Structure 1
Amino acid sequence: MRRRWSIAAGALLVLCALVFIKAPYFGKDRALLVVRIYDRYQEEQSVAKNLGMDIHLHLEDTDLFPLLVTYNDKNLSRYLGKPLHFTVDYTFGDFQKGKGYSRIYDDTDPLYNAYLGYYSITGFERKITEEDLMLLSEYDMLHLALPAVGLPVEEAAFEILAHEKQKDVIISSYTFTSYESSVVTNGPEHHGVAFAAGDLLFGTSPPSPVNYPLHEMKGRVYLYYFKDLDLNLVFYTLAKSDALLHDFEENILKKAEIDFQ
């Protein structure tokens, strides 16, 4: 009898776990749990941890996911042909109330395909150039962001249509060089049913008549080089409108806090 009860209890736990993993209703709770567990390991290996750097972005009272996702990538070194320590921290459009997926999938939402975050890079031994920044943006979209939602690198698109320097921006007392671009790249919505790693983070794409459609997007990057640390710190934003880029800059980036221990 006790053995039967143990088997039944185990089966119930497995069923509950499957419901939590698959059910759209738990989309945001699942994402929060995944990020909290995943980031514990990633943060220990990050550029910020190595340098004693802490960056705080005020995401409260915004429509962005409330946690930053941390990811350490080793393939950028091969992509650029230089040994680098590269960490990306980012957030994205939050989950819509009552829906089990992120706003990035809804092309009617202002936060469609929108991201905000920063790159921390050591190993260049110099301030990176405009060309480096464009290659970095291309690498992020083609090799990190789009594969995360199930689009293979060889099928992904990223083209910079225009790129120009903007006014310098003060972030946490540091003067960042700013650039703005217009790009054409894929949206994340798709009608495939195969599981993608990003499903645990963004939720599953709702049914879509199109598969990773091309869209013109707006992007900004903000660069500061800490010479004594050989640290290139790059904040970045991606959105479908200039208005959202402006909102990100004024209400989040300009209020960011950068500290070193």
Structure 2
Amino acid sequence: MPIGLGLHVAIALFFAVHAVRNGQERYWLFVLFAFPLLGSVVYALAIWLPGMADSRQGRRLATGLRQALDPERGLRGAREAFDAAPTTRNQVLLADALVEAGHAGEAVDHYRDSLRGIHADDPDVQTRLARALLQAGRPAEARQLLDALIARHPDFRSPAGHLAYARAVAAEGDRDKARHEFDTLVDYASGLEARAWYVEVLRDWGDDRAADRERDAALAHARRMPAHARQLNREWLRRIERCTAGRPRGATVSTRTP
């Protein structure tokens, strides 16, 4: 069978299975197998794509496709919103979009500028600022900011802020303090982000035994997570799985987000 014809039949078979599982009219099977290429196109346009658009998987696929085709779409929208209404909220959202787009240095300026008026001592914005400083390669500033925040707001609790602090301490080379912060953090953090960073930090230090122990604990934790939670943490899970003992030692602890 020619390769092209075989591919047409395989696609038609995929849509035929979809039709049966979703209770579509049986005439679709005739259309798909009598005219594999044309039938598949018609079925995709009439049945499959509209159904995908209404599903969570379809929406996720569409979002990913839009992001791939236009990676700065969200950033443009955030800039336009801030230009139209330069509120503190819009400025923070713009800074968030800048971080997401990899422009951490510019994000730092916007976060700092938003810390004024009633938001001058906003712990959430300061936590975001600390994360942007880390991504910009400025861990000392991030730690100084968070130390001051802790002193002013000792009851403030933020897993994201705690992770930023642990990363900043690790990046500065304060290993004992970093271990303490990460050990405390992974005990209560529900996701895999903190665990992924901890494994990478330990591997960068050359402490393979501890890194393997934390990696195995993280993978065991992932297996106990519900399927939707694993899906939400899939990028961190991949990073944990990639962090094997063969990773080069002696590298500087990364302060950048993926």
Is the TM value for this pair above 0.5? no
- Return the structure number with greater helix share: 2
Flag the structure with larger Rg: 2
Please report the TM-score for the alignment, with normalisation by the length of structure 1: 0.28
Higher relative contact order (CA 8 A, sep 6+): 1
